[in-house]
Amino acid sequence: MTDRSFSTDRAPAPVGAYPHARRHGDLLFLSGVGPRKPGTKDIPGVTLDADGNIVDYDVEAQTKSVFENIRIILEDAGATWENIIDATCFLTNMKDDFATFNRVYAEHFTTNRPTRTTIEVGALPTPIAVELKVIASIAPLHEHDVHP
């Protein structure tokens, strides 16, 4: 069974010692993906004060950026948006943000309807309001595709 880690320079660097994704057999498990712009520490829709605390944020802008980052990781790993089979969604403010998040989510999952769980968390590792962890199917590798 194929089991290997995967990372791409086109997505934001992980904030810890983990890969963007890990392939196990015909499944691709993405680590939590936030909205940071690749190659920067910029977070779309976030205004921070001098101490780095969130002053204001736009959950719609963040959600769209998260989805773009997920697309990049999936594509670079050999999968597509349509291959997503499960999504775990983390919001820091369910009461204020769920309706907007849910609308944007529905706009992006028009043909593919993965299973989904949405959880409110007290904080995320960086000053963001939304993060997703997804599982996708991926085409089987052939022997000549496996690199040690």
Three-state secondary-structure class, residue 45:
coil
pLDDT digits (tens, 9 = 90+) for 12-29: 989 889 999 999 999 999
Q: Residue 22 is encoded by which pair of tokens?
A: 């890990």
Examine the pLDDT at 128 and tell me if it is beyond 60. Answer: yes
23 contact partners, CB below 8 Å, separation of at least 6:
2, 3, 4, 5, 6, 29, 77, 138
Given this model, what pLDDT does residue 146 score? 45
Given this model, what pLDDT does residue 141 score? 55
Nearest to 124 by CA among 114, 136, 134, 133: 133
Average pLDDT over residues 34-44: 91
Give the E-state strand segments of the chain in sequence order: 3-6, 21-24, 27-30, 46-48, 54-57, 84-91, 115-120, 130-137
pLDDT, greater one: 37 or 3: 37
pTM value is 0.90
